[in-house]
């Protein structure tokens, strides 16, 4: 027993001695000599082969991983894997670089391998050198040292005093050491493949970075796995500052953007070019961009095609200008400033008719002035977009937009402008920029493109609670202006303008046309002066700076664009109408006379571009009222209707026409013609007034805004619906509920006032109490598509004593039916019986609607009769003759009529067959917009018509 104990003690002692020896061995390998410092050697895309780690931990950056190894004597090497699936750090108690046990990562995973080493002069950064095998810098070495070890070579670079040593090349076979003041980061094109025994080292203790850099975006929608330190929830400027001040490595690039983690910042010691050469190193991420530092030298000169201006309306500079010129046209003054490199800003003083030019300005030099427009010069450096307009953006300080479609961060507002111009997912029409957070919020909307129903919203742009936020509107895109609807404006002028036109301006229509044809800016308002002068501006009364609006009566004629459309037609196997709108269109589009939308129309929800396909005229097929004739000409009319139920003055009709040449054998021609199909209004009919009266007598009147009773109303104008009672004893009150509008044929109806007495449509306002016996509400004149009459029918409630108003959802009072809970609340006391209903009356009034724009009703079929029908899809080798149905009376007259009908039908059938054959073989159909243009289109495959037995081509007897 005693002997067994001795053996146990002996084995335990041996185990302890072995552990101590191993510990001493590890300590010997990691213990540095006097004057040496512990550091790391980095190899990118390498890993330690055939070795199990001591431990592994999750990590998100390089410094956190190294912290777990630098003070642990057992840790000699590290593998860091950073991939979409795993982010971890593995620690090893053996090294592999010197024993050739590291291997290139075959799976292309982004892996760092770091190995502990001791070097004299090593810095306090995370690693002293990064090694790349088999590559060298094709640049002459500053110093070559022969027959030395790798360690001595690296220490020679670290301790070089005569010049900064940025890189080292070591030849393992020849033991030669080359020191250079250049590196693969300063000369990326000179970094090339070489022999396998050559090892290249970047000195991480020295760098080539500028002392006070500025950062430029070098790659869009780009991220990399090789980030060394990651941050979440910081701004772009904070990310740049952390990169500039990084103590752990030379931060040569960083990527920043909005991700699922929020604002994400990743710092890198590699450049974009270096990462691009690593397989699997980078990947696309929408909204994340890569930035690199550049020297903060004097601003480089802006290329001529990048120079542009930012407009600041109703603002001036309290400085003496360096030069002034007489004011002629804003565009002329802007060109003079653009061509002068010393011009930093320009103002147009409309009161003195001068253009003033300034060499510099500061923010405190800007002041408000309703008679001046300020243009500040800017350089928009976009690689893919250019702005060839009078100015690029208009700035509104302290304003912000209510919506944003994309958010990113840029160092300057000019970079945000470039991002807006380069945006491809949507048309960027405006953005907000925050100078503190660098946030750039881009939107597909601006104040002019919002839906027509929202065009009067005052909260679309709001004063910002952050004074560092400014709102910018894009002027670099051309709004649709082919067909525009203008609204006359009286009683107000705008003191500034963007263009003055005097040539070929004889009428107000000439002035409208000049506005639509303007290319330097998006014209939205015109003023026709009596002396044949036309002034144009991009402002409207709703969007102009308040200081520029002058309220007074004028003999001049002014108008503002409400809506514009560009319409094009593609003529193929169908007629395809394509529409672009300057505002979000929210309504319906349909073929005239087919407002039920089942097959000939569609609902459009908040779109700037949309289309409608209309079939050609064919027998037994729904043709959507397309008209065709024997000459191959097809016509139709489409309707853009903003309200799905009724026609308003904002709606538009467009006539479409396609012509196909049925005579040609080898070509297909098309005629495209788009025009506003505006016809004369038919004679109006008399009103029909029918109503039922309960005591006291109640009547309904339809009045013009001047108070005169009317029986006809112009589409789009306002009228007044008045209901009053003759109550001599003054014991009754009245209220309205359930008001409807129907057409004259009782086919369509719409609720105007609901059961509570509140407006159900924005076409009518709340009923207000003119006096105790009279109620009034203003209503916009509309029409139903199927009739030119509207019948207004209202249920009027007669109350004993008086009727109480109801509070509607819009917050206003309306004298409709009182809410039940209000009645219950006042059922006792002196209020009892206040709203005792004693009678209900139904009143009707008929109004005939006229229009200078539309032919009402829109279902008038007189111009839509189909004169000939095609038979699409029939086999051209045979012949099918259509015999019309007639009365079955066998007479000589019937025989002659039927014979003539058969002959004509067969003749037309051959023409249509030829036309259908060319449609099937046509190579393509081109869209030539609104101009009547013929285009020859070659056939895809030449086909030969085979003669029939009768010797004719494609003919047949009936």
Q: What is the pLDDT of residues 664-712, one digit of tens each?
A: 433 333 333 333 332 322 333 223 322 233 467 889 999 998 889 999 9
- On whether both 108 and 137 belong to a single domain, the answer is no
| DSSP helix/strand/coil, 402 | coil
Are 954 and 916 within 8 A, CB to CB?
A: no
Residue 949: other Cβ atoms inside 10 A: 5
Give me the long-range contacts of 206-213 (CB less than 8 A, separation at least 24): 206/164, 206/165, 206/166, 207/166, 207/250, 207/252, 208/166, 208/183, 208/250, 209/250, 209/251, 209/252, 209/293, 210/293, 210/294, 210/295, 210/296, 212/244, 212/296, 213/244, 213/293, 213/294, 213/295, 213/296
pLDDT digits (tens, 9 = 90+) for 238-286: 999 999 999 999 999 999 988 877 889 999 999 988 888 887 777 888 8
Query: What is the predicted pLDDT for the residue at 299?
Result: 58
Q: What does the alpha-carbon distance between residue 792 and residue 736 come to, in Å, rounded to a whole number?
A: 13
> In 611-653, which residue ranges form alpha helices assigned H by DSSP?
none
Q: How long is the chain?
A: 958
Please report the pLDDT score of residue 368 as a whole number: 95
Contact of 480 with 523, CB cutoff 8 Å: no
Distance CA 634, CA 468 (A): 58
φ/ψ of 418, rounded to 5, equals -60, -40
Burial status of residue 658 (CB atoms within 10 A of its CB: 0-12, 13-18, 19 or more):
buried
User: Considering the domain boundaries, does residue 4 fall inside one?
Assistant: no
Quote the pLDDT of residue 297.
57
Q: What is the pLDDT at residue 434?
A: 92
The reported pLDDT for the residue numbered 60 is 62
**CA–CA distance, 343 with 358 (Å, rounded to integer):** 6
Element (H, E) at 602: strand 601-615
Six-digit token string for 321: 């200008």
In a domain, 870, yes or no: no
**20 is a domain residue:** no
Indicate whether 650 and 581 sit together in one domain: yes
- Beta strand 837-850 with 712-714: parallel, antiparallel or unpaired? parallel
CA dist., res. 347 & res. 750, Å (int):
53
Backbone angles phi, psi at 292, to 5 degrees: -135, 150
How much of the chain exceeds pLDDT 70, in percent?
74
Tokens standing for residue 714: 């112009």
CA dihedral 508, 510, 512, 514 (to 10 degrees): -140
Query: Quick check: is 693 in a domain?
Result: no
One domain, residues 386 and 371: no
| pLDDT of amino acid 619 | 55
User: What CATH number has the domain bearing residue 107?
Assistant: 3.50.4
Characterise 817 by phi-psi region: left (phi > 0), alpha (psi -120 to 50), beta (else). beta
**393-418 b/e with 16+ CB inside 10 Å = b?**
bbbbeebbbeebbbebbbbebbbbbb
227-236, 573-582, 609-618, 850-859: segment of lowest average pLDDT: 850-859
Lookup: tokens for 287:
């909204």
Same domain, 578 and 592: yes
89-98, 141-150, 541-550, 586-595: the lowest-pLDDT one: 89-98
pLDDT at 896: 54
Q: Which of 254, 229, 252, 217 is nearest to 82 (CA)?
A: 229
Tell whether 673 is covered by a domain: no
Q: What pLDDT score does 333 carry?
A: 95
Domain that holds residue 188: 131-207
Residue 401's pLDDT band (cuts 50, 70, 90): confident
Q: Mean pLDDT over residues 296-323, rounded? A: 87
Instruction: Indicate whether 715 and 811 sit together in one domain.
Output: yes
| Among the ranges given (114-128, 809-823, 901-915), the one the predictor scored with the smallest mean pLDDT | 901-915
CA distances from 205 to 72, 156, 162, 247 (A): 23, 13, 16, 10
22, pLDDT greater than 50: no
Q: Are 227 and 255 in contact (CB under 8 A)?
A: yes
> Looking at 293, 310, 338, which one is the last position of a domain?
293
Instruction: For the chain, count helices (H), then strands (E).
Output: 10, 57
Higher pLDDT residue, 653 or 668?
A: 653
State the alpha helices, DSSP H only, in 160-263: 236-244
Model pLDDT for residues 920-945, shown as the tens digit of each residue? 443 333 332 332 222 223 322 333 23
Per-residue pLDDT, 524: 96
Query: What average pLDDT does this structure show over 119-132?
Result: 94
Strand (E) positions, 648-759? 652-660, 670-675, 697-704, 712-714, 718-726, 732-743, 749-753
Least confident span in 99-103, 325-329, 514-518, 724-728 = 99-103
The encoded tokens of residue 25 equal 């061995």
DSSP state of 467: T
Q: Give the domain CATH number at 765.
A: 2.60.40.4100
Whether residue 800 sits in one domain with residue 730: yes
CA 252 – CA 250 distance, rounded (Å): 6
Question: Given the structure tokens 């229009």, which residue do they identify?
Answer: 851
Task: Decide if 656 contacts 636 (C-beta within 8 A).
Answer: yes
Do 641 and 519 belong to one domain? no
Q: Are residues 56 and 154 in the same domain?
A: no
920 vs 660: CA distance, rounded Å = 13
255 and 279 fall within a common domain: yes
How many distinct structural domains can be found in the chain?
8
Which of 75-89, 443-457, 548-562, 729-743 has the least mean pLDDT? 443-457
Whether residues 594 and 650 share a domain: the answer is yes
* Residues sharing a CB contact under 8 Å with residue 257, sequence separation 6 or more, in sequence order: 223, 263, 264, 285, 287, 288, 289, 408, 409
pLDDT of residue 729: 62
- Residue 728 Cα distances to 697, 772, 804, 834, 835, angstroms: 10, 12, 20, 19, 19
Cα–Cα dist 673/670, whole Å: 10
Tokens of 508: 């107000």
Instruction: Name the E strands within 754-820.
Output: 768-771, 774-780, 789-800, 806-807, 813-814
Average pLDDT along the chain: 78
Pick from 379, 409, 430: which residue ends a domain? 379
**pLDDT value of residue 211:** 84
Do 580 and 556 fall into the same domain?
no
Q: What is the pLDDT of residue 454?
A: 52
Max CA-CA distance within the chain?
A: 144
In angstroms, rounded to a whole number, what is the distance separating the alpha carbons of residues 153 and 149?
A: 6
Which band of pLDDT confidence, cut at 50, 70 and 90, is reported for residue 86? Answer: low
C-alpha to C-alpha distance for 606 and 583, rounded to whole angstroms: 9
The CA distance from 313 to 374, in Å, is 6
> Looking at the predicted structure, is the pLDDT value of residue 149 above 50?
yes
Which residues are registered as beta bridge partners of 592?
none
Q: What is the mean pLDDT of residues 59-68?
A: 80
User: What is the model's pLDDT at position 517?
Assistant: 95
Instruction: Give the domain CATH number at 442.
Output: 3.50.4.10
- Whether 759 is in a domain gets the answer yes
Angle at 778 between CA 774 and CA 780, to 5 degrees: 150
Quickly count: other Cβ atoms within 10 Å of residue 865's Cβ: 8
Residue 30: its pLDDT value, please? 53
**Residue at 677 is within a domain:** no
**Residue 226 near residue 270 (C-beta atoms within 8 A):** yes
In a domain, 877, yes or no: no
| Confidence at residue 826, expressed as pLDDT on a 0 to 100 scale | 40
553, 534 contact by CB (below 8 A)? no
Chosen domain end from 127, 147, 173: 127
Task: Give 882-934 pLDDT, tens digit per residue.
Answer: 333 333 343 445 455 455 554 444 444 454 454 444 444 433 333 323 322 22
- Please indicate, yes or no, whether residues 443 and 347 belong to a single structural domain of this protein: no
Least confident of 32-46, 216-230, 940-954: 940-954
């Amino acid at each position: 027993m005693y002997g067994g104990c001795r053996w146990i003690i002996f084995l335990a002692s041996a185990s302890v001695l072995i552990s101590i020896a191993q510990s001493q061995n590890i300590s010997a390998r990691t213990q540095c000599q006097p004057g040496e410092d512990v550091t790391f050697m980095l190899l990118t895309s390498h890993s330690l082969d055939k070795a199990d780690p001591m431990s592994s931990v999750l990590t998100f950056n390089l410094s956190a991983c190294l912290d777990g190894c630098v003070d642990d004597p057992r840790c000699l090497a590290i593998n860091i894997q950073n991939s979409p699936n795993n982010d971890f750090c593995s620690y090893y108690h053996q090294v592999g670089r010197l024993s050739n046990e590291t291997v290139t990562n075959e799976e292309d995973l982004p892996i760092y391998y770091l190995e502990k080493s001791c070097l004299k002069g090593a810095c306090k950064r995370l690693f002293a050198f990064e090694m790349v095998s088999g590559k060298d810098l094709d640049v002459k070495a500053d110093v070559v040292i022969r027959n030395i070890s790798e360690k001595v070579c690296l220490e020679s670079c670290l301790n070089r005093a005569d010049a900064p040593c940025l890189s080292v090349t070591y030849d393992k076979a020849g033991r030669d050491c080359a020191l250079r003041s250049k590196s693969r980061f300063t000369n990326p094109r000179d970094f090339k493949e070489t022999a396998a025994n050559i090892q290249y080292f970047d000195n991480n203790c020295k760098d080539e970075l500028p002392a006070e850099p500025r950062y430029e975006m070098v790659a869009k929608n780009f991220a990399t796995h090789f980030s060394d330190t990651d941050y979440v929830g910081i701004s772009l400027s904070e990310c740049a500052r952390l990169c500039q001040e990084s103590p752990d490595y030379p931060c040569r690039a960083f990527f920043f953007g909005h991700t699922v983690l929020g604002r994400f910042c990743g710092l890198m010691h590699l450049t974009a070019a270096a990462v691009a050469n690593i397989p699997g190193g980078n990947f696309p991420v929408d909204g994340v961009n890569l930035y690199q530092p550049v020297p903060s030298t004097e601003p480089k000169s802006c290329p001529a095609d990048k120079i542009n201006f930012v407009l600041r309306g109703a603002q001036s500079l309290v400085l003496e200008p360096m030069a002034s010129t007489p004011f002629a046209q804003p565009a002329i003054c802007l060109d003079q400033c653009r061509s002068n490199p010393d011009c930093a800003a320009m103002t147009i003083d409309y009161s003195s008719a001068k253009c003033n030019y300034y060499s510099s300005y500061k923010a405190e030099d800007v002041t408000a002035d309703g008679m001046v427009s300020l243009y500040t010069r800017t350089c928009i450096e976009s690689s893919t977009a250019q702005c060839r307009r009078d100015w690029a953006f208009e700035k509104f300080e302290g304003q912000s937009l209510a919506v944003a479609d994309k958010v990113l961060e840029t160092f300057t507002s000019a970079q945000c402008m470039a991002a807006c111009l380069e945006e491809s997912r949507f048309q960027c029409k405006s953005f907000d920029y925050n100078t503190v957070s660098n946030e750039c919020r881009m939107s597909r909307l601006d104040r002019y493109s919002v839906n027509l129903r929202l065009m009067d919203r005052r909260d679309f742009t709001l004063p910002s609670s952050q004074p560092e936020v400014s709102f910018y509107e894009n002027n670099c895109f051309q709004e649709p202006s082919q067909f525009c609807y203008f609204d006359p404006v009286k009683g107000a002028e705008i003191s500034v303008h963007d263009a003055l036109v005097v040539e070929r301006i004889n009428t107000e229509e000439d002035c409208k046309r000049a506005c639509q044809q303007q290319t330097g800016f998006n014209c939205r308002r015109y003023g026709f002066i009596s002396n044949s002068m036309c002034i144009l501006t991009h402002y409207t009364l709703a969007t102009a700076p308040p200081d520029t609006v002058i309220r007074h009566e004028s003999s001049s004629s002014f108008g503002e664009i409400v809506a514009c459309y560009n319409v094009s037609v593609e003529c193929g196997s169908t007629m395809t109408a394509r529409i672009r709108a300057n505002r979000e269109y929210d309504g319906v589009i349909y073929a005239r006379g087919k407002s039920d939308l089942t097959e000939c129309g569609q609902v459009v929800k908040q779109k700037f571009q949309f289309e409608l396909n209309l079939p050609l005229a064919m027998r037994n097929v729904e043709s959507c009222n397309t008209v065709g004739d024997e000459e191959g000409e097809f016509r139709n009319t489409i309707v853009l209707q903003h309200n799905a139920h009724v026609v308003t003055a904002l709606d538009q009709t467009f006539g479409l026409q396609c012509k196909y040449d049925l005579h040609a054998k080898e070509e297909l021609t098309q005629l495209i013609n788009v025009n506003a199909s505006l016809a004369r209004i038919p004679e109006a009919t008399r009103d029909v007034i029918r109503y039922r009266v309960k005591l006291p007598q109640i009547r309904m009147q339809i009045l013009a805004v001047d108070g005169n009773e009317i029986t006809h109303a112009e589409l789009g104008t306002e009228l007044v619906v008045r209901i009053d009672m003759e109550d001599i004893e003054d014991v009754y009150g009245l209220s309205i509920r359930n008001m409807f509008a129907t057409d004259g044929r009782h086919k369509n109806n719409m609720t105007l006032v609901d059961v509570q007495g509140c407006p159900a449509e924005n076409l009518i306002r709340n009923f207000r109490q003119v006096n105790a016996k009279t109620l009034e509400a203003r209503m916009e004149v509309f029409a139903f598509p199927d009739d030119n009459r509207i019948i207004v029918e209202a249920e009027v409630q007669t109350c004993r004593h008086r009727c109480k108003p109801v509070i509607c959802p819009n917050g206003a009072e309306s004298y409709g039916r009182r809410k039940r809970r209000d009645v219950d609340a006042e059922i006792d006391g002196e209020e009892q019986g206040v709203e005792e209903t004693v009678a209900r009356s139904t009143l009707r009034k008929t109004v005939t609607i006229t229009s200078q724009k539309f032919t009402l009703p829109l279902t008038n079929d007189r111009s839509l009769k189909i004169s000939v029908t095609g038979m699409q899809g029939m086999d051209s080798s045979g012949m099918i003759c259509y015999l019309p149905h007639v009365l079955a009376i066998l007479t000589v007259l019937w025989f002659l009529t039927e014979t003539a009908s058969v002959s004509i039908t067969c003749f037309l059938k051959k023409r249509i067959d030829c036309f259908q054959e060319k449609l099937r073989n046509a190579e393509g159909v081109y869209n030539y917009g609104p101009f009547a243009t013929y285009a020859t289109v070659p056939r895809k495959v030449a086909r030969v018509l085979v003669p029939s037995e009768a010797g004719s081509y494609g003919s047949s007897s009936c």
